[in-house]
Chains A and B, each alone.
Chain A
Amino acid sequence: MGRLMTVEEIVGSVESGMTLGIGGWGSRRKPMALVRALCNTPVRDLTVISYGGADVGLLCAAGKIRKLVAPFATLDSVALEPHFRQARQNGAIEFEEYDEGMFMFGLYAAAHGLPFLPTPAGLGSDVQMKNPALKTVTDPYGGEELIAVPALRMDVAFVHLQRADARGNALYLGGDPYFDDLYTKAADRAYVSCEKLVDTGDLLKEGPVQALLVSRAQVAGVVETPNGSHFTTGDDDRRDEAFQRHYVEAAATPEGWAAFRARFLDGDEAAYQAAVRTWRDEQ
């Protein structure tokens, strides 16, 4: 039942045109090591499903996204995601916009084999009125019209949790699970990156049993990527705010971004982490 893989093996299994789900939320516990590595593959034309943050930004900057399905893209402490903005303002990506709660229902439907789930969230807004693909359903008991949120199925999902075992069971630390369990259930193949691999018998030394969010039954591969959610929130549930600001500033000009990419992103994950350490020492 061992499912240990390398970052390269995981991203190497993603093909152009696929639908990719990415866990976390905004600039919180995003599987950034996997996203960084995916940016360095020849893959393109992805449909990405995400409560968007820096993951969406990096993939936009690398030209990987054809269509984003999301309720937002934000860096939390920085309201707007610079690369997402640029991609949208250049007309480079399609954006299918959802309400946050609608989006959750799409994940729940996909995770449980339902074709749709009904909700009033979104009714009357342009999320509904300007999306001809979105249909409504009538309550057979009371007659109320509701949005039929289609299942957000995905070919592949990436999530990052703090602890996992080699089988693919994974546990989160911190106050919020986000929706990572739903992503793993909604995907044909789900991959977990973790801060630290532990023996199965040691999982509950790390957190309460309720924190065991992801089951090995839903996981195709596991990889240990220490600091792998950087610069979003990670092991200690904190974000590297200074580095996030550096990322935002670099995104402001083509030259700034080229320099950032050359320094941090063109190598592998070990090179990224080393470059971040050097950068921090300079500050």
Chain B
Amino acid sequence: MAGTGVVTGEVSVTRAEVCAVACAEMFRGDGEIVAAAVAGMTPALGARLARATFEPGLLTTDGGPHLTAEPVPLGAPAGEIEGWLPFREHLWLVLNGRRHVWLGPSQIDAFGNCNISHIGEADRPKSQLLGSRGAPGNTRLNPTSFWIPRHSPRVFVEKVDYVSGVGTDRGAFQLRGVVTNLAVLDFATPEGRMRLRSVHPGVTVPEVVEATGFPLTLPDEVPETRLPTPEELHLIRTTLDPKALRDREVRP
């Protein structure tokens, strides 16, 4: 279930920690680009973890206009600064392309079209959300990943009410993948449809299928999402998120 941890040897690993590592993995191979991981605490932690381990070239922010000299702990001040990235520079950088962004959609469909704008009709929505923010440009021009802390059929829908971010069938640049509290998914099928890549330890494939509101492409063998290494676990717990803010998004 969503909240259970797993025990490996003597160490208990929480679901939030598995999610943070899965987010970090999305940056593998990105090199020297900006990790725009503002869609939640878990992707921000993942970006800083990737930078502290296997992607040292990544540029990460303090959540504000500063590129920090080192990956800083969640919620901590920037410390030493290596660059300036006010909103206008972020928006130009979208066009430049050296940026990998995370979105936190309220709805997403099988092709990765996503909605952060409103639920219901455009003229008089049932629920007005944020508005499209930078999702249209981000998905058209930058590698994009998605963070969904509660995997459910309300989020994974046949058809989104408004296409804020474009899917693989609408000209997306590159949808890297989706990390949820249950699983990792990607779009690595010939038609660009969503596919189950791995389930987190303790989650079953039928559970994910049931929590997804459209038919999911299933490989013959669905592996488990990898566990944090001892080094990663140590970094998460003692350095990058000592206050365990990650547990606010994914319950332990």
**Chain A residues in the interface with B (C-beta under 8 A):** 25, 51-52, 70-74, 79-80, 84-85, 88-91, 95, 97-102, 104, 119-130, 175-179
**Nearest B residue to A179, CB-CB:** B88
Q: Please pick, from B84, B118, B126, B137, the residue contacting A102 in the complex, using a CB distance under 8 A.
A: B137
**Nearest A residue to B93, CB-CB:** A101
Question: Which residues does chain B contribute within 8 Å of A127, judged by CB atoms?
Answer: 132, 136, 164
Question: Which residues does chain B contribute within 8 Å of A85, judged by CB atoms?
Answer: 127-128
**Contact A89 B126, beta carbon cutoff 8 Å:** yes
Asked if B65 lies at the interface with its beta carbon under 8 angstroms from chain A, I say yes
Contact (A128, B136) CB under 8 Å given A175-B84, A176-B86, A177-B86: yes
Asked if B11 lies at the interface with its beta carbon under 8 angstroms from chain A, I say no
Question: Which residues does chain A contribute within 8 Å of B171, judged by CB atoms?
Answer: 123-124
Q: Please pick, from B65, B87, B165, the residue contacting A125 in the complex, using a CB distance under 8 A.
A: B165
Question: Which residues does chain B contribute within 8 Å of A72, judged by CB atoms?
Answer: 130-133
When each residue 94-136 of chain B gets 1 if its CB lies under 8 Å from chain A and 0 otherwise, what string results? 1100000000000000000000011000111111111111111
Question: Which residues does chain B contribute within 8 Å of A73, judged by CB atoms?
Answer: 130-131
Q: How long is the Cα–Cα vector from A79 to B39 in the complex, in angstroms?
A: 11
**Chain B residues in the interface with A (C-beta under 8 A):** 64-66, 84, 86-88, 91-92, 94-95, 117-118, 122-137, 139-141, 162-166, 170-171
**Contact A119 B95, beta carbon cutoff 8 Å:** yes
**Contact B131 A125, beta carbon cutoff 8 Å:** no
Q: How long is the Cα–Cα vector from A79 to B125 in the complex, in angstroms?
A: 17
**Nearest B residue to A25, CB-CB:** B87
Question: Which residues does chain B contribute within 8 Å of A122, judged by CB atoms?
Answer: 136-137, 140
Most buried by B among A89, A121, A125: A125
Q: How long is the Cα–Cα vector from A94 to B117 in the complex, in angstroms?
A: 14
Contact (A121, B130) CB under 8 Å given A25-B87, A97-B117, A175-B86: no
